[in-house]
A = this chain, B = another copy of it.
Amino acid sequence: MKLFTKSLAVVGVSAAIIATTALADSHAKVNPAVAARQSQMQIIGYSIGILGATAKGEMEFNAEMVASAARNINALAQMDRASLWIDGTEQGAEAGSRAKAEIWMDTEGFDKKMQALADASAALIDAQDAAAVGAGMGALGGACKDCHETFRGPKNE
């Protein structure tokens, strides 16, 4: 990910702030690439919440809802990295970021962990009951945990 010069990232980021601010006031003070990645994670977390609640029986099993949540996680795990994980937006460099610098030093390793999430979510698309969702939650939660342990830094103060 050393393809982009710092100046390119900064110019792009400034330009994008205009589009972003109107859409997400709560993110206005955050670098928009960081905000976009947090949005990506937010929808993933939301979708996993649906699957988890279904697995636990807190939410009635609904095949369409489960497939939808799983499909969306799958799509989000495969989002194109180049415009989201921009150089110079790691934790410490940009407020609010928890992305470790290791993401940029080991893009192959990072991609593998995102692919594990894509695979674990794909396996749930056709789940036919809550037990099947539960059976797949280990791999799904494991993919989250595994990537966070390696590539996510501690909470920002």
Stretch at the interface among A9-17, A99-107, A109-117, A127-135: A9-17
How many chain copies does the complex carry? 2
| Contact of A150 with B by CB under 8 A | no
Q: How far is the CA of A76 from the CA of B50 in the complex (A)?
A: 19
Q: What are the nearest 5 A-B pairs in CB distance?
A: A16-B49, A15-B53, A19-B49, A39-B39, A68-B82
Chain A to chain B contacts (Cβ below 8 Å), 29 pairs: A11-B53, A11-B58, A11-B59, A12-B50, A12-B53, A15-B56, A16-B46, A16-B49, A19-B48, A19-B49, A20-B42, A20-B45, A24-B38, A24-B42, A26-B26, A27-B42, A33-B46, A36-B42, A39-B43, A39-B46, A43-B84, A47-B83, A64-B82, A65-B83, A67-B82, A68-B82, A68-B84, A72-B80, A72-B84
